Structure 1
Amino acid sequence: MSTNSTGSGMEVMMTPWLHFNGGDFLYFQHLAPSSNGAIAGASIALFLLAVFERFAAGMRGTMERRWRQKALAITSNKLAPTESPDCCAGDSGQKQSPTALRTTPRTIAPFIPSVDLVRGCMHSGQAVLQYALMLAVMTFQAAYIISIVVGLGVGEVIFGRPSVQPAHHAH
């Protein structure tokens, strides 16, 4: 058990096992739901936060697909041969196929500021949500943990399909 002083002369004990008791600090010193109603309200808020985290993950997956298509379009335009008359002539003066001019395809998408800065911000925002959920779980308050797990499951059912990238598209 660890002891924490709140600065008001009162000692607070952290319960390091699963429990349904109230009074655990949730993010801030002055946010310590202790009544059943307050714990229920905090649990509902954590449920919604977990659903929102899955929404953010789904949106990020959807955006990743769009960004990948944009990067492929940009790289395919850069790899296309120019249409000058002697661009495709080899040493023998014969025309070579345009594919002979293409290099190995890129394995990493090019840096596109309008894409990569947004991607970084979305990742950071999702990390904040995940850490906030983790901190609530670390209280060992069973109602919070159950609410978060159920919220993540419900959010995945609702928002998880768009974020899943199939291996091959059927045309």
Structure 2
Amino acid sequence: MTMKNYLHFTAGDNLLFQAWHPNSSGAIAGACIGLVLVAFLERWLSATRAGLEHHWHQKALALTANDDSAGKRCEDDAASVKSGFAAGRKTRNVAPFIASQDVSRGVIYAVQALLGYVLMLNAMTFQAAYLISIVLGLGIGEVLFGRMNRF
């Protein structure tokens, strides 16, 4: 059976894998529920990442403030001023690399990208029920978690 390249509600499209081939209306309904949950999970992960970004930013500011206060103490020391260490100090434009935060950020982003690609590939089947399910899941997720993305 060939894939239809227009919106349709008929059964028979593969979802991601050849083995995942919903042929009945019940199987399509189950696939739609699964797609709603994946879309919902993607929005939750986005909100969680935004909250973590805010938390990490606050920690980086505190770390940078501690570095600045150490630099201020050095300014009071005449020897360090003569060496030019404190006098040439510049403020940071980028937060320092903190492995626990930056590796976590990368993993969360990779999972979020994976979920986005999974949703996109399922939408590309042109099965209208799948597309409606994806949009519905993204909408519900945004209603519940969207406000958490704004800090």
Which of these residues, 28, 39, 60, is aligned with residue 50 of structure 1? Answer: 39
Q: What is the TM-score with the length of structure 2 in the denominator?
A: 0.88
Q: Can you give the 5+ residue segments of structure 2 that lack an aligned partner in the other structure?
A: none
Which of these residues, 16, 23, 36, is aligned with residue 27 of structure 1? Answer: 16
Percentage identity across paired residues of the two chains = 49
Runs of 4+ in 1 over 2 A off after TM superposition: 83-91, 100-105
Which of these residues, 148, 162, 171, is aligned with residue 134 of structure 2? Answer: 148
Asked if 1 retains the 8 angstrom alpha-carbon contact of 2:74 and 2:81, the reply is no
Amino acid paired to 1:37: G
Asked if 2 retains the 8 angstrom alpha-carbon contact of 1:27 and 1:136, the reply is yes
Alignment match, 2:120: 134
The yes-or-no answer on 1:86 pairing with 2:77 is yes
Q: What is the TM-score with the length of structure 1 in the denominator?
A: 0.78
When the two structures are aligned, how many residues end up with a matched partner? Answer: 146
Asked if 2 retains the 8 angstrom alpha-carbon contact of 1:79 and 1:102, the reply is no
> Could you tell me how far apart the structure 2 residues matched to 1:144 and 1:129 are?
15
Q: Which has the larger radius of gyration?
A: 1
What do the CA deviations read for 1:61-82 (whole angstroms, capped 9, x no partner)? Answer: 0000001111111111111211
Amino acid paired to 1:82: R
Q: Can you give the 5+ residue segments of structure 1 that lack an aligned partner in the other structure?
A: 1-11, 92-99, 166-171
Q: Which has the higher contact order (CA 8 A, sep 6+)?
A: 2
Greater helix share, structure number = 2
**RMSD between aligned alpha carbons?**
2.2
